[in-house]
Amino acid sequence: MNTNDEKGQHDLLVKGVIESAIKISLLGLMLFWCFQIIKPFISLILWGGILAVALYPACILIKNKTGRGKGFAATLISIALLAIIIAPMAMLSSSMIDTGTQISENYAKGEINIPAPSESVADWPLIGEKVYTTWDMFNRSIKDAAEHFKPQIKEIGKWVFTMSTNTGLTLLLFIASIILSAVLMVNAGPIKSASIKITERLTKKQGEDIVNLSIATIRSVAQGVIGIAIIQAALAAPALLLMDVPAAGIWALAILILAIVQLPPIIAIAPIIFYVFSVADSTSAIIFSIYLLLVGFSDTFLKPLLLGRGVDVPMLVILVGAIGGMIFSGIVGLFTGAVVLALGYTLIQVWINDDLSEKANEAKQAE
């Protein structure tokens, strides 16, 4: 009798395990399938979500000031973003493509004329002599110099070509992300409630604290790191175009990347200033240099205004996130990578230190 009972219990246990395994497998298959379907849109969704979270306070402010709905405020923000971000991006993209095309055509015709370097170039600290020698080599015979630096030029050419061909897709992705962010801002309430419910199912009723801390982290990094970088690049770009700096789009992109990875933009600004002094008149060069230096150091007074006080993310985390994101998913990854890794770092820290409620309250008070 006991043997039959034990056998029956064993059979029920085996049946339950098999049924559970089948259910889990089917659920896993469904989740995997869903992931594969949305995989091409992950960067779009991430960047749209980051923009929505970062700009939602502005949306509420506009709504309260105008007395109109969130739809009006979100639309107004989207139009402003398209004008502020997309127009300069299009100009810089055009500059990058035109520069590459012009160099290629002129080189094929043998019409590239590089001006002789000024004697003062040789007096630049550390790099002056090497820059002068290389510059003079290109001035004397561009074909001989190109042959001498063929491997380096080939690699740079590949990079420029890849960046140029991806520019159009990146531009479309930015436009779509801005539109998506407007939709998310309009539906922010239901989305936040759903996020809290999902998180609570996974974290034993700590969903609200986790969601609030996540929002604070995203806003801190998006406004205090990415926002400042975009402002600096956007301020530098018109000056580069005005002074006819070659490859202005690439230089503006370099300033953007350096600012996001928390390195001083002066690294990119310094060679631009040296170049302008060698080709422009003194007055124009001095005004241009002062303006670019102000842009380069503008983060000093912008960070206290825009960087959230409730979240402290190390510079190394931002650096790794930005570079890794760019390697993983291109220019958009430069923005999303920094935010996602900062968010992951913050959540791991509160999990290790078991101070979720305290950190969530600090972040909420800092807003």
Per-residue confidence in pLDDT tens, the chain, 367 aa: 456 666 667 667 777 788 888 989 999 999 999 999 998 888 889 889 988 998 999 899 999 998 888 899 999 999 988 887 766 666 666 666 666 667 666 666 665 667 677 666 676 676 777 777 877 777 766 666 767 777 777 777 676 666 666 666 777 888 899 999 999 999 998 998 988 888 888 777 777 888 888 888 888 888 778 888 888 888 898 888 888 887 777 788 888 888 887 788 888 899 899 888 888 888 888 999 999 999 988 888 777 676 654 456 777 888 888 888 878 877 778 788 888 888 888 888 888 877 666 666 665 555 5
* CA-based nearest residue to 228, from 264, 259, 258: 259
The C-alpha atoms of residue 43 and residue 325 are separated, in whole angstroms, by 10
pLDDT of residue 364: 59
Three-class SS state of 205 = coil
Give how far Cα 27 sits from Cα of 23, 24, 198, 204, 276, Å: 6, 5, 16, 22, 61
Neighbours of 302 (CB within 10 A): 17
Kindly give the interhelix angle for 315-353 and 356-366, rounded to the nearest 10 degrees: 130
pLDDT of residue 3: 63
pTM for the model:
0.69
62: Cβ contacts below 8 Å, ≥ 6 apart? 68, 72, 73, 76, 77
Domain boundaries of the chain, sorted by first residue: 42-366
23: Cβ contacts below 8 Å, ≥ 6 apart? none
214: Cβ contacts below 8 Å, ≥ 6 apart? 343, 346, 347
